[in-house]
Structure 1
Amino acid sequence: MSQMKSKEKTLWHDGLQYDLLLGIVLELIVLFVSILFWHMQFPKLAIAKAAVLNLLYLVLALPLLVGIFGLSARSMENTFWTRLLTQLAWPALLAGVLAALILCLIPPYCSGSTKPKQYMQIDQGIDENMLADLQQLFPETILPTAGDVSYQYYKYTSILENSLHISLGETLDEASFQREAARIDALPMLTSGTRTEGENITLIDLQTPEGLLLHLSLDAACHRIIYSASCQQY
């Protein structure tokens, strides 16, 4: 009888140790693959905001958490929590292995920037026609004299989703505003777009054949222009 208890205790001990050690290894593997492989896909890494990824992060952490709390309960001789966490040890480890495998196939990172100095630094692999549309729509550079500049870039690519968003808002002096407004009016790609004219504001919306949603806002009163382009495919 005592031998059975000793064997059972040893198995508990080993299972929780495996969760603790392999849980750390799994997280290091995902980090290593993300930095070594997925970093090649993006100019700047940021944590991707997706519900499915948040769930995978939680499952990936399960072995480590079960190992920590299980060994703590065992050291405090808490029989109930030791038994419960020991029973969860192997399922948690299997779930962690599966989550690690998925995270190595689906990038847990995305590209993102809000810095004007990184303006139009775009990931490789974007459709050539889509890239040409972006280069036509957005100004080549941000003028040094532009004020209230706001810039946002986001790109996430995986087997589940392909999302892109770029936006730029800037306030120009009157002469620069008139030149940029004339350039926008002359763009052939916008002739098929929907144009809404107000007293001082002009709104232009267009969806390209590649699925890119374009939006322009020109405010003649304050000489502000907002450019926006987004695409989300599943």
Structure 2
Amino acid sequence: MTNVGNEYGQVLNSVLTTGEGAGLDDLCQGIVQQYRDAGEPQPDAIYVDRDCCSDRGVGPVLKGFRPWTSTVRLDVFHFMRRFTRSLTTEHHPLYGTFCSKLSSCIFEWDMQDVCHLKEAKRTRLRKKHQGHQPTDAQVLASISSKELAEHCRRKTRGVEETRALIKSLLDSMWQLVDGTGLHLINHDHMSRVWEVQHFACIQDPPGVQLYTNIW
């Protein structure tokens, strides 16, 4: 089953075949025709689970969606899955820690959004404590992870910073084991995954609005 959806979570087209890869050209060209019939411009970006780039001219995604020239990016979820599948087991006690740190290596909070949230929290704390001015530490301590995700956008860090942070993460957890001596990382598999990753393929496309305004 191959599905193609839009930024609103709507499925635009799908194909169910008995063999992998069959029918994809008709699937893609069907969507191109839908956009043409509706008078809609091509999408700014197409996110995929693989085949995000090509060293030899036009990649397979844009060949399917011809004549579009959209930016093609690898979905970060699938990028992260390549790394988490190189861990020995999802039941390892450090599995969740690794996933959380991996996400932090890729994304950073939009500082303008964070500043707005901090000011809103600061105002609320002043009212709650009869005008007492809270410290920065108190303001930060009052912000939950749920509130951060609710009110602040995230963006990718850039190729070099992402590569350096993930390498540092792997170096720090490479030899970690659980109470039975089971390693967190499958060394052979992770080494192969590291060698073939294209960090440019997960970066936010310049000028593309990745968040939908719901207000």
TM score, norm. by length of structure 1: 0.21
Name which structure has the greater RCO, CA cutoff 8 Å, separation 6+.
2
TM score, norm. by length of structure 2: 0.22
Larger Rg: 1 or 2?
Answer: 1
